[in-house]
Amino acid sequence: MLWARASVLLFALVTVGCQGGPPPAYPRPPFEDVKKLGLTLQQAPSSTFDFCATPSGPLHLGNATWLAFMAANEYAHLGYLAPVLNELGFYRPGGIDQSWTQCAFDLQWVRAFEKIHADDLKARHEAGPEAMKRYLEQFTDPAHPEVFGQCLRRWFIYEDYDGSAYPAAAFEGFLVQETDDSRYLQFFSGGEFTLSGDDFKEGSTQVFFARHRRKPVAIVSFRGTEPGKWSDVGVDAKMWHHSLEEEGWSAGWGRVHDGFFDAFNTVADGRLMAKIRGLHGSPVGIWITGHSLGGALATVTAARLLEEMEAGTPHPLRGVYTFGSPRVGDEAFRDRFTELARKHGVKVVRVRNGRDLVTNVPGLLMEYAHVGLLVHLTDEGLTVIEDPEAEPGHGLMGGSIGDHNMTGYDGEGQPVSGYYRRLLEALNERAGAGADDPLLRCETDETSPP
C-alpha cells in the first residue's frame, strides 16, 4: 500500500537524520517559487496553541482567531509553513513530521538539477524508464558531488522510482498526493503529471491536514484563490449548479457550485478522506477552515462528512469556520447542511469582513445561499448575526475587494482592513474576561501531558 511504503521511507529518513550522516554536497538554495508566511509565529494569537477542543457556545473567538491564522498561512510554501505548524505542536512524537522542510528544500534542488542536466535527462527520458533510473542512481551515492538530499535520496531508493517521469515531477507527486497514516501533518494538492512526464501541474485545490500531538484537535485548512493562477480562476468561474443527488448523495441536498465540487474531489478520496477516516475511534475532533475559495471547499468537505455521518460513519467533525467565503449551494443545500450540523453538534461559523465583495457571489439571482452563523467584522468591532435576513447588504457595486484581505496587513506590515487582524483585536479586547465571556467559554481542557 502507498502509505505503508511511505512509512518505510520516512522511518529511514528520520533514522538517518538521528544518526547524523554526511551533509549534502550542494548549497541549500532559497525557495524559488514561494509565498512566505502571511503571519509569523510572533503574530500568532498566543505563544502556545490554546485552542478549545470543546467550546460551549456556537462561536469561540479564540478558535476563530487560530483558524484564521491557519487559513492565512495556507497560502505559504510548505517549506515555510511546516516548521510553524511543528512549533505549535502539530507533529507526531518521534520526529517523522519534522522532515517537511528538508523535503521541500530537496524538491527545489532537484528542479534546479533538472535545468542543469536538461539535455542528459531528455535523452534518458526518450530512451525509456530504465535508462532514466540508471542515470539517476549515481546521484544517490553520498560520495557524488551532486548527491541528492536525504529526503530525495530515500524517496528514490525506498519508493522504487520507476523512471517514467522526470524526478522533480515524481518526487512532488509523492510529497503532495500520497497518504501516509503514520504522519500527523500532511499537505495535499490536486494535480497531475503532464503527458510528457517532465512536470507536475498543481491543481487549484491545496489543503493541509494537521493533528496536534497533545490536544484532541485536527485542523483541515484549504488554500484560497490566487488570482494569478488560472486554475483557481477557472474553479471560481464554473458557477453552474451540480446536483448532489445525481452523485449518489441522499435526497434533499439540492445543488452546489460545479467548480467547488469538482475541486474538492481532486483531493478527497484516497487522500484527505483517508486521513480523516484515520481518526475514527480516537478522541480527536476535526475543525475545517479556509479563506475565499478555501472557505467554499471547507463547506463542501463538511457537507460530505455530514452526509456520511448521517449514514453512520463516525467522522469526528466538530467545527467549520470560513473566512470571506462565496456562497456554495442553493437553499436546499443550505437547509440540509444546517439540519445535519445541528443534529450532529457541529459548530458552523462564517466570518465576513466589512463589505467583502467575494461573500456576495455567486449572486442570489442564481439561487445560491450561505450556511452558518454570521460573524461580521468592522472598524467598530465584531457583531454576531443569527438571522440570515439581517445580514448587512452591500451589493456587487458596493462591495470591497480590499475587505477580502485575509491577514489585515499590507506587504510592509502596516494594518489594513482584514480578517485576522480584526479577529485578533476583538480577542485581545476580551482577554481580561476569560471564561466569563460567552465567546471564550470552554467546557474542559483536554490537553494531554507531553
Model confidence at 419, in pLDDT bands (50, 70, 90)? Answer: very high
Choice among 34-48, 191-205, 389-403, 434-448 with the minimum mean pLDDT: 191-205
Mean pLDDT: which of 185-189, 262-266, 310-314 is highest? 310-314
Contacts of 222 (CB under 8 A, 6+ apart): 71, 74, 205, 206, 207, 288, 289, 290, 293, 294, 295, 297, 298, 301
- 142 and 79 fall within a common domain: no
Would residue 345 count as lying in a domain?
yes
Name the more confident of 390 and 55.
55
Counting the structural domains of the chain, the total is 2
Is 378 within a domain? yes
d(CA 415, CA 151): 39
Does 239 lie in the same domain as 381? yes
Q: CA 96, CA 17: separation in Å to the nearest integer?
A: 10
The residue among 173, 12, 216 whose CA lies nearest residue 96 is: 12
Judge whether 403 lies within some domain.
yes
Give the mean model confidence (pLDDT) for residues 127-154: 95
Tell me: the pLDDT tens digits for 268-283?
988 999 999 999 999 9
Q: Residue 25: its pLDDT value, please?
A: 39
- Answer yes or no: is 414 within a domain: yes
Read off the CATH number of the domain in which 54 is found.
Answer: 3.40.50.1820
Phi and psi based region of residue 89 (left: phi greater than 0; alpha: psi -120 to 50; beta: remaining): left
Give 377's pLDDT tier (boundaries 50, 70, 90): very high
Strands (E), 232-364: 241-243, 255-257, 285-291, 317-323, 347-353
Is 352 inside a domain boundary?
yes
State what percent of residues in the chain have pLDDT above 70.
82
More confident residue, 157 or 228: 157
Q: Are 71 and 289 in contact (CB under 8 A)?
A: yes
Residue 38 falls inside a structural domain: yes
Q: What is the DSSP string of 301-337?
A: HHHHHHHHHHTT----EEEEEEESPPP-B-HHHHHHH
Say whether both 35 and 103 belong to one domain: no
How confident is the prediction for the chain on average, in pLDDT?
A: 86
- Write the secondary structure of 95-145 as one string of H (helix), E (strand) and C (coil): CHHHHHHHHHHHHHHHHHHHHHCHHHHHHHHHHCHHHHHHHHHHHHCCCCC
Strand order in the sheet with 285-291: 185-193, 200-211, 217-222, 285-291, 317-323, 347-353, 373-378, 381-385
Q: What is the pLDDT of residues 176-235, one digit of tens each?
A: 888 888 899 999 988 665 545 555 455 568 999 999 999 999 999 999 876 544 344 344
Measure the CA dihedral 329/333/334/335, to 10°: 160
The pLDDT of residue 446: 67
* 253 and 169 together in one domain: no
The domain boundary, picked from 165, 182, 199, lies at 182
Higher pLDDT, 436 or 351: 351
Query: What pLDDT does 392 receive?
Result: 86
Residues 350 and 363 in one domain: yes
Q: What is the pLDDT of residue 365?
A: 54
Give yes or no for residue 259 having a pLDDT over 80: yes
Whether 255 is covered by a domain: the verdict is: yes
245 with 123, same domain? no
Cβ contact 53:130 at 8 Å: no
Q: Give CA 69 to chain center in angstroms.
A: 12
Residue 256 has pLDDT above 60, yes or no: yes
Q: Which residue has the higher pLDDT, 389 or 443?
A: 443
Residues 37 and 24 in one domain: no
Same domain flag for 171 and 229: no
Backbone angles phi, psi at 227, to 5 degrees: -55, -30
Backbone angles phi, psi at 229, to 5 degrees: -100, 115
* 168, 114 Cβ separation under 8 angstroms: yes
Question: Do 274 and 368 sit in the same domain of this protein?
Answer: yes
Q: For position 78, what pLDDT does the model report? A: 86
First to last CA, the chain: 31
Adjacent-strand bridge partners of 415: 409
Per-residue pLDDT of 237-250, as tens digits, reads 455 688 999 999 99
**347, burial (CB in 10 Å: exposed 0-12, middle 13-18, buried 19+):** buried
d(CA 152, CA 171): 7
Which residue in this structure is represented by grid cell 485578533?
A: 424
* Coil/strand/helix, residue 29: coil
Q: Do 150 and 24 share a structural domain?
A: yes
Q: If you write DSSP's letter for every residue of 151-214 in order, what string do you get?
A: HHHHHHHHTT--SSS-HHHHHHHHHHH---TT-SEEEEEEEEE-TTSS-EEEEEEEEEEEE-SS
Q: How far apart are CA 442 and CA 56, in angstroms?
A: 5
What is the pLDDT at residue 20?
Answer: 36
| Residues 177, 61 within the same domain | no
Calculate ∠ Cα 412-415-418, nearest 5°. 115
Within its chain, how far is the Cα of 12 from the centroid?
Answer: 26
pTM of the model: 0.89
By C-alpha distance, which of 174, 169, 139 is closest to 155? 174
> Considering the domain boundaries, does residue 41 fall inside one?
yes
User: Is residue 358 classed exposed, middle or buried when 0-12, 13-18 and 19+ CB atoms within 10 A define those classes?
Assistant: buried
Evaluate if residue 395 carries a pLDDT over 80. no
Structural contact between residues 58 and 347, judged by C-beta atoms closer than 8 angstroms = yes
Q: Which of 158, 182, 206 is the C-terminal boundary of a domain?
A: 182
Whether 17 and 71 map to the same domain: the answer is: no
Name the helix (H) or strand (E) containing 235: helix 230-237
- Domain coverage including residue 35: 31-88+216-431
Predicted local confidence at residue 234, as pLDDT: 41
Go through the chain and tell me how many residues it has: 450
The answer on pLDDT for 307 being more than 50 is: yes
